[in-house]
Chain A
């Protein structure tokens, strides 16, 4: 299972639309969740709408929260989206088997069996979460909370039975004109997370769409690399 978790506090203002990018992600089997971090500032009607639309296009969830609720929200969204991904797959299967595509249509006893299998899949399936963090200037005071939320997410993922890894990107990148940069490669270790954002140079633009596209690319390369590795092994 593949997820992107976008944490931002404003509207995109450069490049391709993030809604288009999120739709791309979903078409490749990557669910996109979005958290808008508010605190004092107001995210504005336009920003709130964009966050909602990105998640809708990306087949994920969206929430507007303050930094205090960030850890809890990130943890909950990731978990819900795992279950949702499985649910969608199960719905498709059910449609094949029964001609009816929903768990709700099953009588309680059958539903119980199906949900038991889903819960087990949710607990054991491999999961990758790519975190994409808005590092525009207004996010600076919130990065401490973002880092805590990432650690908290790692703690929850480590409790899963299935293999779970995260990676972290920020946007814009540190160099001029760079849309997005990877801060942390796939890991399942807590020890690699501390002071992730310590040396981060904050910039003004918010290239949300291009950054999303780059993360999708990263997923694509990762999967391709894995396939070729497997081919060589085989």
Chain B
């Protein structure tokens, strides 16, 4: 028996995926992304769009699905179910692959969203993300592999978590992580899944969003024994966006928040204060112009009325 490796399968636009057990039929539209356990495609079935994840290894994918199912059982009933179907299919060469179908989350990757809509969305996106983590933690799970690739942002900064391959029961060893966002990599604690693990990754993610280049340089030049949270905090010094959040970042990096909910509340307070402290700029110039125009219009109306 061979150990399964990277998924080499490539599905072309228009390919029909037919479920072996449940008989569902899904037409491939395009590749959405690639995670550690497989590839995610946008598919269409009976006029609706879904995201479909194909795995290389039935066990790896199934254990990811188990996490999702446990989450679904604890999920809020008003939300549409995230996990739609679990099945296998056979490709043209007779090779079988496991797959699961989930709700299609429309959104942009985090970095793209910020690049397009501007950094002023960061505090709100961060808040949404922290609340998502809080819900996950309160259900007994840790996300694990938190990084920009695993966050999609829908309209008005509504952040969603995607790729649940790293989801780990609290108390177990984190199943999947990415070095730069890993607490152990920065000598800041264990790899045991706890809410603070995700909050640490969140802090690095935040720094990476704003200071990606300098963070990259840091990881390239620092020797392993000097990879410590203090180095991450140094990036926040004197930075227009990060400096106001320094206190928050320090607490997240040192594992001082009791829960994601507490961290979210503190995030709101600190980043709000930062916004208030920003020099009060005048509104957009066109608004001023509009005001002048409407005042003129009003004056004209009154002139005609009283004439």
Contacts and interface: CB of A to CB of B under 8 A. Distances in A.
A161 B191 CA distance: 11
Q: Which of B66, B88, B173: most chain A CB closer than 10 A? A: B173
Given A103-B58, A108-B21, A155 B191 contact: yes
A160 B191 CA distance: 9
Nearest to B175: A79
Interface residues on B, range: 20 to 34
Contacts, number: 73
Q: What is the interface of chain A mostly: helix, strand, loop, or mixed?
A: helix
Nearest to A107: B21
A148 interface: yes
Contacts of A81: 3
A115 interface: yes
Given A155-B184, A155-B191, A115 B173 contact: no
Interface in B54-75: 58-60, 62-63, 65-66, 69
Contacts of B65: 108, 112
A152 B62 contact: no
Interface in B78-96: 86-88, 96
Nearest to B183: A155
21 contacts: A60-B3, A71-B179, A72-B179, A83-B59, A87-B1, A88-B1, A103-B59, A103-B62, A104-B96, A108-B65, A108-B88, A112-B62, A112-B65, A112-B66, A112-B69, A112-B86, A119-B63, A148-B224, A152-B184, A156-B173, A156-B191
**A-B pairs with lowest CB-CB distance, top 5:** A159-B173, A159-B191, A115-B62, A108-B86, A159-B192
Interface of A: 60-61, 71-72, 80-81, 83-84, 87-88, 91, 103-104, 107-108, 111-112, 115-116, 118-119, 123, 148, 151-152, 155-156, 158-161
